[in-house]
Amino acid sequence: MSASGSEFFSDHVEEAVLSPGEHFRGYEVKKLLGRGGAGMVYLVRHEMLDSLLALKLMSVPDTTAGDEPVKRFIREAKIASRIQHPNLVRVHDAGFDSVRNCYFLVMDYMPGGTLRDRIGLDGPIPEAEAVEIVRQIASALAAGARFGVVHRDIKPENIMFTSDGRAKLVDLGIAKVCLDDTLHTSTGATFGTPNYMAPEQALDASSVDARADVYSLGIVLFEMLCGRTPFVGDTVQSIIAQVVSDSPIIDIKRIQPDVSNWVSALLFRMCAKQKEKRIASPEILVGEILKHTGQRPDPEENAEYAQIQPKSPVARPNTPEEDAAIDAEIEAKRRARRRREIIKKSIFWGVVGLLAAATILFTVL
């Protein structure tokens, strides 16, 4: 689920519910932005700073089957807080609320909505605007790539806009850190969205690098220009079959003849089925777009790059010990909630018993 509440993981986890006007850890709830299988996103106001932010909540699962979404949630908070870039949604606060038994994450509120909203409302996006959106998101991916982070779920739902139109990337919950990231993704596992997955990601998400994100961003560019992705099918299986086939994506000029030659060529290179033939990195992609558009590098982005050079390991995968500690924390919170429920039930039935005894005594007397 993004900073406007577009979507979230599909795992079934109990929702943490807040109402408009309710106060949560220094934030006033304004309204519900969206909900998903694992939580909810609210528009909130910081009570002291009077600024609007997005609050994401996810309850602690009742069973260990729900632990993976919690780990993704914590992982998203860690990565997003450590990699600062003007085209990445910023995380301001995160933690666990024992009263509501939920994890929370406070991030930028994106009033401009998602790229999915924009395509759905306006249809195909003008070429110059679409290319600029790709440049901005590629710039964010380049910042992540400096730390070995691969997003793995680039799609219109995860690209959002500020009030002044700047594009920002959200949802790092399934991001992969290419520094021995055996914890988060087991070999053969598949993460992502079929229409936007690189072929190698559809086969094994544990082995991907930044070129998979370049491919996915190319599919997003294709959709912005055409209003649809290159792949059409009635089932997930049929889409994936097209993704992993050796056939190149359809020439966009067959659908939109007005697309310029250099953008058509760029799309083929971004979406090459063999990753060795693909544009090698988001940073190279940014450079090629700047060369063809005649733009100069954004000084704000360059300044941000300078600020995020790591003095210590950043956004690295958890060690087995850290993962065990997270598991223990989740289990402790789960047990604490069960104890509270048992105590509540004991008190309830104790009161019921006393009332019954008092009724009987009153009847006898």
Whether 226 and 271 have beta carbons less than 8 Å apart is answered as: no
Structure tokens belonging to residue 272: 């090459």
Task: Round to whole Å and give the CA distance between 10 and 2.
Answer: 14
* SS3 state of residue 169: strand
Q: For residue 88, what are its two tokens? A: 């990445």
Task: Report how far residue 357's alpha carbon sits from residue 4's, in angstroms, rounded to the nearest whole number.
Answer: 54
Give CA–CA dist 58/38, Å, rounded.
6
User: Please, are residues 141 and 167 in contact by the beta-carbon 8 Å criterion?
Assistant: no
CA angle centred on 93, ends 170 and 74, rounded to 5°: 65
Q: Give the residue carrying structure tokens 């086969």.
A: 203
Q: What are the start-end ranges of the H helices in 2-57? A: none
> Do residues 58 and 69 lie in contact, with contact meaning Cβ atoms separated by under 8 Å?
yes
Name the residue with tokens 């220009």: 225
Active-site residue set? 153
Do the beta carbons of residue 131 and residue 171 sit within 8 Å?
no
Return the bridge partners of 31, or none: 43
Task: Tell me the C-alpha distance between 94 and 299, whole Å.
Answer: 30
